Amino acid sequence: MKQMTSENTSWLPVLLVLSLLVPVFFFLGPVRLTPYRLILVVMIIPLMLRLFSSGKPVFAFDFLFIFSFFWSAISLSVVHGFGQTIETSAIYIIEGLGAYLVTRILIDNKQSFYIFVKIFYFSVLFLLPFAVFEAATGQPIILDVLRKVLPVPGSVSMNKRFGLERAQVVFEHSILFGVYCSSVFGLVFYVLNKPGSSPVTGLMKLLLVTFTSFLSVSTGAVLAINFQLFLIAWDKITAMMKLPRRWLILGGGFAVLYVLIDILSTRSPFHVFVNYLAFSSRSAYNRILIWQFGTETVWSAPVFGIGFGSWLGPAWMGDSVDNFWLLLVMRYGLPGGIAFIVAIYLIMKRLGSCDFKDPDLDNYRKGYLVSLGGMLLAGATVHYWNATYVLFMAMIGSGVWMLSAKDQDQATTDQEVVPKRIGFTRAARPAAAYREKVEPVLESSMEDIPKPDNRNAMPELSTTPRDRSSERQRPNLPYTRRG
């Protein structure tokens, strides 16, 4: 059986991204299957085995992710019973942990990461004309065409915003489409815009991503784009200023801002942020109520969560919880949710402390952290599920390879900076270690050599000048070169 290596499986992350754009599904018994689920079902066990057998480092956050996903299965079995939740738990683990392992293991160098980002960007461009058509007409043309022959997600009817229909294109909801497109913004800026490339071309790429994301007319997408743009601006401005500890200063600034709003405003900082960031007052009010009743639900079942049961929100609000992080701890309990959050924190902290000398690696690191930061913030306004959830987990795993590249980059830097000792082919002085080993042997060998007898000693040489008057004088001949 052929061994699975990065060389013969490097196309899988690309295939996974492309499969997210295929909205069809079918049922195998009671199990709902999609193209990306088929890929993950086949690959999760081989990738899990390879994680622990490849000889490459396994980090603490890998174990935290594994614990989080299996804790979710335990929580569901405690709340609803093992027999009723085995299929749901298996799908949750396959989608989340499987997508993480695909990119965590199979993206392991600059080339594979660059290809992943490039295909991701092109997938957004592919969706652009369909999103424009849907924003103008309200018809998701891809879903309408495929629905005639295959089962696909239903079309969601929503109110217009700014005179535009909210495009969902191939996703279950417009906000999922917006998050998918906006999450590539930072990667495009840092990874695809190579040094020396045209600034106009780079700006056009960013504008296309921004415009495509905006066609969803959703708070999460716009918030993600703005946050990534702010991080990019902070990086560039503080780099020119050579500001020390600039990211620590940024984090401290956010903390100070939060405290000032809490002191000066009659509302909580969370309420203030939601009111200013949401597109409508109704949407802001709903998110405030979700946070209020959602936190109460978490503390009502802190260990195992409530599973798929009803939460404590008002009946008129429905079952939708537009907050990925809140629903994570509501559904599966605090242990699994905290492990999941800490794992992401450890990845970002370790990568944030890396100091790459290779400019490509440094830009890849920044693009990964900026894009992932946008998705993390957007998760506070929407719940990730199905294809967008798979993308989120794939995004998390796609940058882990840089932690191993850190050592390689440092080793290369050391070889370039540390000067080598120059040797000589003639009359080279032996190194200190060589002298310590060889000179004692030579001295002991010299002692074994017998000293010469005085009778056989050579006569002393005379220092009297030699009389050359009787010798025949040689004529002075001109020098000629022999040809």
- More reliable by pLDDT, 128 or 465: 128
pLDDT tens digit string along 131-170? 999 999 989 999 999 999 999 998 887 878 888 899 999 9
Q: Please give the pLDDT value at position 408.
A: 57
- Give CA–CA dist 258/160, Å, rounded: 33
User: Would you call 26 helix, strand, or coil by DSSP?
Assistant: strand
pLDDT tens digit string along 237-263? 998 998 888 888 988 998 898 888 878
pLDDT tens digit string along 69-121? 999 999 999 999 988 889 999 999 999 999 999 999 999 999 999 999 999 99
The overall average pLDDT reported for the chain is 84
Closest listed residue to residue 273, CA positions, set 282, 261, 264: 261
pLDDT value at 436 more than 90: no
Give the confidence band of 414 by pLDDT, cuts at 50, 70, 90.
very low
- Token pair, residue 454, equals 């005085």
Give the confidence band of 406 by pLDDT, cuts at 50, 70, 90.
low
Q: How many helices (H) and strands (E) does the chain have?
A: 20, 2
User: Would you call 2 helix, strand, or coil by DSSP?
Assistant: coil
Partners of 26 in beta bridges: 33
Give the confidence band of 466 by pLDDT, cuts at 50, 70, 90.
low
Q: Please give the pLDDT value at position 184.
A: 96
pLDDT tens digit string along 276-309? 666 666 777 788 888 889 999 999 999 999 999 8
Whether 398 and 103 have beta carbons less than 8 Å apart is answered as yes
pLDDT value at 234 more than 80: yes
- Give CA–CA dist 120/369, Å, rounded: 16
For the segment 447-467, the average pLDDT, to the nearest whole number, is 52
- Residue 302 has phi, psi (to 5 degrees) of -75, -25
Give the confidence band of 198 by pLDDT, cuts at 50, 70, 90.
confident
Give the confidence band of 17 by pLDDT, cuts at 50, 70, 90.
very high
pLDDT value at 448 more than 70: no
pLDDT value at 418 more than 60: no
- More reliable by pLDDT, 311 or 271: 311
User: Would you call 31 helix, strand, or coil by DSSP?
Assistant: strand
pLDDT value at 392 more than 80: yes
- More reliable by pLDDT, 423 or 159: 159
Residue 195, C-beta contacts closer than 8 angstroms, at least 6 positions apart: 359
- Domain spans, the chain: 6-413
Kindly report which listed range (213-227, 345-359, 451-465) carries the lowest average pLDDT score: 451-465
| Proportion of the chain above pLDDT 90, given as a percent | 56
For the segment 425-442, the average pLDDT, to the nearest whole number, is 52
